[in-house]
Amino acid sequence: MILNFNKFTSPKTATAWSGAGVGKPFGLTLSIFLHSIVTLIVSIIINITDANEPGNDYGEGTGWVVMIPGPAVVFLFSAISFFVCKYSYLAPALTLGVYLVFALGMIGEGISTALLYEWHDIAWLPSIFIITLGINCAIFFVYSCIALHKRSRVKDIALDNA
């Protein structure tokens, strides 16, 4: 079943994203939003149960400081992006820059989370979700590049024909 997100996209956003697909920005935002919720839930559960055990922590609260900020920022930005996509203009250039930073940050945060904890314990588990959230952000970055490239090409063709 293919989901049609065209009705959740404003006309300005649809025009800007026509090269990559009109429903792409909302669908990708939804994907990242849901992925960040799952990542936050797993990180919170692991921090409550295992990451802050006395023998598995560099200091009290290290798991909270390392695992939570990145997914929380991605969650907040994607929640805001829903409304921007629906009622205003979600520019491909904005998502290109933001999701590139998010992708690099999430992958770095996921690697550092994995390296902080011992492998025989489960405290490293959120790193898998954090790294895949970074990959999801990288996919949004790629679609932003496609939307900008296709839109620029159409504009260049129109100028050549003038």
Question: pLDDT tens digits, residue range 95-126?
Answer: 999 999 999 999 999 999 888 877 667 878 89
**Which is more confidently placed, 89 or 18?**
89
How many Cβ atoms sit within 10 Å of the Cβ of residue 38? Answer: 13
* pTM assigned to the model: 0.85
Q: Read off φ and ψ for residue 47, nearest 5 degrees.
A: -65, -35
Which distant-in-sequence residues (6+ apart) come within 8 Å of 31 by Cβ? 136
The residue type at 78 = S
Q: pLDDT by residue (tens digit) across 58-81?
A: 667 777 888 899 999 999 999 999
Domain parsing of the chain, residue ranges: 22-161
User: Minimal CA–CA distance to 69: which of 88, 50, 92, 44?
Assistant: 44
